[in-house]
Amino acid sequence: MVSAVFHSPLDAAPVAAQNAMTNVAGSALSTSARGQKHSKSAAAIPAAAPARDWAALSRSFWMAVLPPLCGLGLLVGLWAVVSTTTGGSIPNPKDTWLQALEIFSNPFYSNGPNDQGVGWNVLMSLERVAIGFGMAALVGIPAGFVIGRFSFLSRMFNPLISLLRPVSPLAWLPIGLLVFKGANPAAIWTIFICSIWPMIINTAVGVQRVPQDYMNVARVLNLSEWKIATKILFPAVLPYMLTGVRLAVGTAWLVIVAAEMLTGGVGIGFWVWDEWNNLNVKNIIIAIFVIGIVGLVLEFALIKLATAFTFEEVKS
Protein backbone atom coordinates (compact mmCIF):
# COMPACT_ATOMS: atom_id res chain seq x y z
CA MET A 1 0.00 0.00 0.00
CA VAL A 2 1.39 3.30 -1.04
CA SER A 3 0.92 6.29 1.15
CA ALA A 4 1.42 9.92 0.16
CA VAL A 5 2.30 12.83 2.37
CA PHE A 6 1.04 16.27 1.41
CA HIS A 7 2.53 19.55 2.70
CA SER A 8 0.76 22.76 2.80
CA PRO A 9 2.18 25.88 1.05
CA LEU A 10 2.78 27.46 4.43
CA ASP A 11 5.15 24.61 5.35
CA ALA A 12 7.11 24.91 2.05
CA ALA A 13 7.73 28.67 2.32
CA PRO A 14 10.42 28.49 5.06
CA VAL A 15 12.29 25.79 3.13
CA ALA A 16 12.34 27.86 -0.08
CA ALA A 17 13.49 30.93 1.80
CA GLN A 18 16.27 28.95 3.42
CA ASN A 19 17.42 27.57 0.06
CA ALA A 20 17.43 31.08 -1.44
CA MET A 21 19.50 32.42 1.43
CA THR A 22 21.96 29.57 0.97
CA ASN A 23 22.32 30.30 -2.76
CA VAL A 24 22.83 34.03 -2.14
CA ALA A 25 25.47 33.36 0.48
CA GLY A 26 27.27 30.95 -1.85
CA SER A 27 27.23 33.47 -4.67
CA ALA A 28 28.55 36.16 -2.35
CA LEU A 29 31.36 33.92 -1.17
CA SER A 30 32.25 32.99 -4.77
CA THR A 31 32.22 36.63 -5.83
CA SER A 32 34.37 37.57 -2.84
CA ALA A 33 36.86 34.83 -3.67
CA ARG A 34 37.07 35.97 -7.30
CA GLY A 35 37.50 39.56 -6.15
CA GLN A 36 40.37 38.54 -3.89
CA LYS A 37 42.02 36.68 -6.78
CA HIS A 38 41.67 39.69 -9.08
CA SER A 39 43.00 42.03 -6.42
CA LYS A 40 45.99 39.76 -5.87
CA SER A 41 46.70 39.59 -9.63
CA ALA A 42 46.22 43.35 -9.95
CA ALA A 43 48.68 43.89 -7.12
CA ALA A 44 51.15 41.55 -8.79
CA ILE A 45 51.05 43.39 -12.15
CA PRO A 46 52.60 46.68 -10.93
CA ALA A 47 55.32 44.71 -9.17
CA ALA A 48 56.17 42.70 -12.29
CA ALA A 49 56.01 45.60 -14.77
CA PRO A 50 58.99 47.57 -13.35
CA ALA A 51 61.06 44.39 -13.33
CA ARG A 52 60.32 43.79 -17.01
CA ASP A 53 61.02 47.43 -17.87
CA TRP A 54 64.31 47.35 -16.01
CA ALA A 55 65.35 44.12 -17.76
CA ALA A 56 64.50 45.57 -21.19
CA LEU A 57 66.35 48.79 -20.39
CA SER A 58 69.39 46.91 -19.17
CA ARG A 59 69.41 44.70 -22.26
CA SER A 60 69.12 47.65 -24.64
CA PHE A 61 71.92 49.45 -22.78
CA TRP A 62 74.30 46.53 -23.06
CA MET A 63 73.38 45.95 -26.71
CA ALA A 64 74.27 49.59 -27.39
CA VAL A 65 77.49 49.64 -25.35
CA LEU A 66 78.93 46.13 -25.53
CA PRO A 67 79.46 45.77 -29.34
CA PRO A 68 81.46 49.03 -29.66
CA LEU A 69 83.55 48.06 -26.63
CA CYS A 70 84.24 44.66 -28.18
CA GLY A 71 85.27 46.32 -31.44
CA LEU A 72 87.57 48.73 -29.61
CA GLY A 73 89.06 45.87 -27.62
CA LEU A 74 89.68 43.93 -30.84
CA LEU A 75 91.46 46.95 -32.34
CA VAL A 76 93.68 47.39 -29.27
CA GLY A 77 94.44 43.66 -29.24
CA LEU A 78 95.47 43.62 -32.91
CA TRP A 79 97.51 46.77 -32.32
CA ALA A 80 99.37 45.09 -29.45
CA VAL A 81 100.04 41.99 -31.57
CA VAL A 82 101.40 44.07 -34.46
CA SER A 83 103.57 46.07 -32.06
CA THR A 84 105.02 42.85 -30.64
CA THR A 85 105.65 41.20 -34.02
CA THR A 86 107.38 44.29 -35.46
CA GLY A 87 109.88 44.44 -32.63
CA GLY A 88 108.62 47.73 -31.23
CA SER A 89 108.85 49.80 -34.43
CA ILE A 90 105.11 50.34 -33.99
CA PRO A 91 104.60 51.65 -30.43
CA ASN A 92 102.29 49.61 -28.22
CA PRO A 93 98.96 50.95 -26.92
CA LYS A 94 100.28 51.66 -23.41
CA ASP A 95 103.19 53.85 -24.56
CA THR A 96 100.95 55.66 -27.03
CA TRP A 97 98.39 56.33 -24.31
CA LEU A 98 101.04 57.82 -22.02
CA GLN A 99 102.27 60.01 -24.87
CA ALA A 100 98.70 61.15 -25.57
CA LEU A 101 98.26 62.16 -21.93
CA GLU A 102 101.39 64.28 -22.19
CA ILE A 103 100.28 65.91 -25.46
CA PHE A 104 96.77 66.72 -24.28
CA SER A 105 97.98 68.09 -20.97
CA ASN A 106 98.77 71.30 -22.89
CA PRO A 107 97.17 71.13 -26.36
CA PHE A 108 97.27 74.89 -27.01
CA TYR A 109 100.89 75.77 -26.45
CA SER A 110 102.64 77.98 -29.01
CA ASN A 111 106.42 78.15 -29.44
CA GLY A 112 106.40 79.76 -32.86
CA PRO A 113 104.56 79.52 -36.18
CA ASN A 114 105.69 75.94 -36.84
CA ASP A 115 105.64 74.61 -33.27
CA GLN A 116 102.11 74.70 -31.89
CA GLY A 117 99.96 72.31 -29.90
CA VAL A 118 97.60 69.79 -31.42
CA GLY A 119 94.62 71.92 -30.43
CA TRP A 120 95.74 74.85 -32.59
CA ASN A 121 96.43 72.49 -35.50
CA VAL A 122 92.94 70.98 -35.31
CA LEU A 123 91.30 74.40 -35.08
CA MET A 124 93.22 75.68 -38.10
CA SER A 125 92.18 72.63 -40.13
CA LEU A 126 88.55 73.09 -39.07
CA GLU A 127 88.71 76.74 -40.12
CA ARG A 128 89.89 75.78 -43.62
CA VAL A 129 87.23 73.08 -43.82
CA ALA A 130 84.51 75.52 -42.76
CA ILE A 131 85.50 78.10 -45.39
CA GLY A 132 85.88 75.62 -48.24
CA PHE A 133 82.76 73.68 -47.31
CA GLY A 134 80.71 76.85 -46.86
CA MET A 135 81.69 78.07 -50.32
CA ALA A 136 80.86 74.67 -51.79
CA ALA A 137 77.42 74.71 -50.13
CA LEU A 138 76.66 78.23 -51.40
CA VAL A 139 77.46 77.15 -54.96
CA GLY A 140 76.58 73.45 -54.99
CA ILE A 141 73.09 73.45 -53.48
CA PRO A 142 71.60 76.14 -55.79
CA ALA A 143 73.39 74.54 -58.75
CA GLY A 144 71.84 71.18 -57.85
CA PHE A 145 68.37 72.75 -57.72
CA VAL A 146 68.80 74.31 -61.16
CA ILE A 147 70.33 71.20 -62.74
CA GLY A 148 67.61 68.96 -61.35
CA ARG A 149 64.83 71.36 -62.30
CA PHE A 150 65.64 71.75 -65.99
CA SER A 151 66.33 68.66 -68.09
CA PHE A 152 68.42 70.59 -70.64
CA LEU A 153 70.86 71.72 -67.95
CA SER A 154 70.89 68.22 -66.48
CA ARG A 155 71.95 66.70 -69.82
CA MET A 156 74.44 69.54 -70.26
CA PHE A 157 76.26 69.21 -66.93
CA ASN A 158 76.04 65.47 -66.27
CA PRO A 159 79.06 64.65 -68.49
CA LEU A 160 81.13 67.41 -66.87
CA ILE A 161 80.27 66.25 -63.36
CA SER A 162 81.03 62.63 -64.25
CA LEU A 163 84.39 63.74 -65.67
CA LEU A 164 85.54 65.98 -62.81
CA ARG A 165 84.12 64.21 -59.76
CA PRO A 166 86.58 61.25 -59.68
CA VAL A 167 89.66 63.49 -59.87
CA SER A 168 91.95 63.07 -56.86
CA PRO A 169 92.20 65.99 -54.43
CA LEU A 170 95.97 66.02 -54.84
CA ALA A 171 95.52 66.69 -58.55
CA TRP A 172 93.57 69.88 -57.80
CA LEU A 173 96.10 71.21 -55.30
CA PRO A 174 98.78 72.30 -57.85
CA ILE A 175 96.09 74.19 -59.79
CA GLY A 176 95.20 76.06 -56.61
CA LEU A 177 98.84 76.87 -55.89
CA LEU A 178 99.28 78.14 -59.44
CA VAL A 179 96.16 80.31 -59.44
CA PHE A 180 96.09 81.63 -55.86
CA LYS A 181 99.85 81.82 -55.18
CA GLY A 182 99.44 80.70 -51.58
CA ALA A 183 99.20 77.50 -49.54
CA ASN A 184 96.16 78.48 -47.47
CA PRO A 185 93.87 79.53 -50.37
CA ALA A 186 95.09 76.51 -52.36
CA ALA A 187 93.99 74.18 -49.56
CA ILE A 188 90.61 75.93 -49.34
CA TRP A 189 90.22 75.66 -53.11
CA THR A 190 90.93 71.92 -52.95
CA ILE A 191 88.28 71.46 -50.27
CA PHE A 192 85.80 73.48 -52.30
CA ILE A 193 86.25 71.61 -55.57
CA CYS A 194 86.17 68.17 -53.92
CA SER A 195 83.19 68.71 -51.61
CA ILE A 196 80.92 70.46 -54.11
CA TRP A 197 80.06 67.34 -56.12
CA PRO A 198 78.10 65.39 -53.45
CA MET A 199 75.89 68.41 -52.82
CA ILE A 200 75.22 69.04 -56.52
CA ILE A 201 74.47 65.39 -57.27
CA ASN A 202 72.25 64.67 -54.25
CA THR A 203 70.30 67.91 -54.59
CA ALA A 204 69.73 67.36 -58.31
CA VAL A 205 68.59 63.77 -57.73
CA GLY A 206 66.19 64.95 -55.03
CA VAL A 207 64.65 67.54 -57.36
CA GLN A 208 64.24 64.95 -60.12
CA ARG A 209 62.46 62.57 -57.72
CA VAL A 210 59.80 65.06 -56.66
CA PRO A 211 56.42 63.45 -57.53
CA GLN A 212 54.97 64.74 -60.77
CA ASP A 213 51.63 65.28 -59.06
CA TYR A 214 53.20 68.08 -57.03
CA MET A 215 54.34 69.83 -60.17
CA ASN A 216 50.93 69.36 -61.81
CA VAL A 217 49.27 71.04 -58.83
CA ALA A 218 51.77 73.90 -59.10
CA ARG A 219 50.87 74.38 -62.76
CA VAL A 220 47.15 74.32 -61.98
CA LEU A 221 47.65 76.96 -59.28
CA ASN A 222 49.89 78.95 -61.65
CA LEU A 223 52.66 79.22 -59.06
CA SER A 224 55.78 81.22 -59.85
CA GLU A 225 59.16 79.51 -60.13
CA TRP A 226 60.20 81.01 -56.79
CA LYS A 227 57.14 79.58 -55.01
CA ILE A 228 57.68 76.21 -56.66
CA ALA A 229 61.26 76.18 -55.38
CA THR A 230 60.43 77.33 -51.85
CA LYS A 231 57.03 75.69 -51.24
CA ILE A 232 57.37 72.42 -53.16
CA LEU A 233 60.93 71.57 -54.10
CA PHE A 234 62.78 72.62 -50.96
CA PRO A 235 60.71 70.57 -48.45
CA ALA A 236 60.78 67.53 -50.73
CA VAL A 237 64.50 67.79 -51.52
CA LEU A 238 65.69 68.53 -47.98
CA PRO A 239 66.50 64.88 -47.06
CA TYR A 240 68.60 64.45 -50.21
CA MET A 241 70.29 67.79 -49.65
CA LEU A 242 71.26 66.92 -46.08
CA THR A 243 72.67 63.60 -47.26
CA GLY A 244 74.84 65.49 -49.73
CA VAL A 245 75.98 67.82 -46.96
CA ARG A 246 77.01 64.86 -44.79
CA LEU A 247 79.01 63.31 -47.61
CA ALA A 248 80.60 66.65 -48.45
CA VAL A 249 81.75 67.27 -44.87
CA GLY A 250 83.39 63.85 -44.72
CA THR A 251 85.11 64.50 -48.04
CA ALA A 252 86.30 67.93 -46.91
CA TRP A 253 87.83 66.54 -43.73
CA LEU A 254 89.64 63.84 -45.72
CA VAL A 255 90.94 66.35 -48.24
CA ILE A 256 92.33 68.86 -45.75
CA VAL A 257 94.70 66.30 -44.21
CA ALA A 258 96.25 65.47 -47.59
CA ALA A 259 96.36 69.11 -48.67
CA GLU A 260 98.08 70.27 -45.48
CA MET A 261 100.72 67.57 -45.80
CA LEU A 262 101.85 69.14 -49.06
CA THR A 263 101.31 72.83 -48.34
CA GLY A 264 102.75 73.01 -44.80
CA GLY A 265 101.90 75.63 -42.22
CA VAL A 266 99.63 74.96 -39.25
CA GLY A 267 97.11 72.14 -39.46
CA ILE A 268 96.58 68.54 -38.45
CA GLY A 269 97.90 67.30 -41.80
CA PHE A 270 101.09 69.31 -41.45
CA TRP A 271 101.41 68.07 -37.86
CA VAL A 272 101.32 64.45 -39.08
CA TRP A 273 103.94 65.14 -41.75
CA ASP A 274 106.18 67.02 -39.32
CA GLU A 275 106.04 64.16 -36.82
CA TRP A 276 106.95 61.74 -39.60
CA ASN A 277 109.99 63.82 -40.46
CA ASN A 278 110.95 63.59 -36.78
CA LEU A 279 110.24 59.81 -36.81
CA ASN A 280 107.82 60.22 -33.92
CA VAL A 281 105.45 57.35 -34.65
CA LYS A 282 103.57 57.73 -31.37
CA ASN A 283 102.40 61.21 -32.32
CA ILE A 284 101.40 59.97 -35.79
CA ILE A 285 99.15 57.32 -34.25
CA ILE A 286 97.71 59.92 -31.88
CA ALA A 287 97.02 62.19 -34.86
CA ILE A 288 95.20 59.34 -36.62
CA PHE A 289 92.88 58.96 -33.65
CA VAL A 290 92.38 62.73 -33.43
CA ILE A 291 91.43 62.90 -37.12
CA GLY A 292 89.00 60.01 -36.70
CA ILE A 293 87.38 61.46 -33.57
CA VAL A 294 86.91 64.90 -35.15
CA GLY A 295 85.37 63.31 -38.24
CA LEU A 296 83.07 61.23 -36.02
CA VAL A 297 81.94 64.33 -34.13
CA LEU A 298 81.20 66.17 -37.39
CA GLU A 299 79.22 63.20 -38.69
CA PHE A 300 77.26 62.88 -35.44
CA ALA A 301 76.41 66.60 -35.43
CA LEU A 302 75.10 66.46 -39.00
CA ILE A 303 73.05 63.35 -38.25
CA LYS A 304 71.41 65.14 -35.33
CA LEU A 305 70.73 68.12 -37.57
CA ALA A 306 69.19 65.86 -40.21
CA THR A 307 67.00 63.89 -37.79
CA ALA A 308 65.64 67.15 -36.39
CA PHE A 309 63.55 67.35 -39.57
CA THR A 310 62.08 63.84 -38.92
CA PHE A 311 62.57 62.61 -42.46
CA GLU A 312 62.79 58.83 -42.53
CA GLU A 313 65.34 58.80 -45.35
CA VAL A 314 67.69 60.97 -43.32
CA LYS A 315 67.21 59.01 -40.12
CA SER A 316 68.19 55.77 -41.79
96-128 pLDDT, tens digit per residue, is 999 999 989 988 888 877 778 889 999 999 999
Judged against a pLDDT cut of 70, whether residue 163 lies above it is answered with: yes
What gap in Å lies between CA 169 and CA 126, rounded to an integer?
17
What gap in Å lies between CA 86 and CA 73, rounded to an integer?
20
Range of weakest confidence among 49-63, 201-215, 255-269: 49-63
Judged against a pLDDT cut of 50, whether residue 138 lies above it is answered with: yes
- The domains of the chain are located at 33-90, 93-315
Place 12 in a pLDDT band, splitting at 50, 70 and 90. very low
Residues 92/78, Cβ–Cβ less than 8 Å: no
Share the mean pLDDT of the chain.
80
Read off the pLDDT of residues 55-94 as tens digits, 9 standing for 90 and up: 777 777 777 778 888 888 898 899 888 888 888 788 888 8
Phi, psi dihedral angles at 110 (to 5 degrees): -145, 110
The whole-number pLDDT of residue 287 equals: 92
- N- to C-terminal Cα separation, the chain: 98
Domain range 93-315, CATH class: mainly alpha
- Residue 222: which region, alpha, beta or left (left: phi > 0; alpha: psi -120 to 50)? left
Judged against a pLDDT cut of 60, whether residue 202 lies above it is answered with: yes
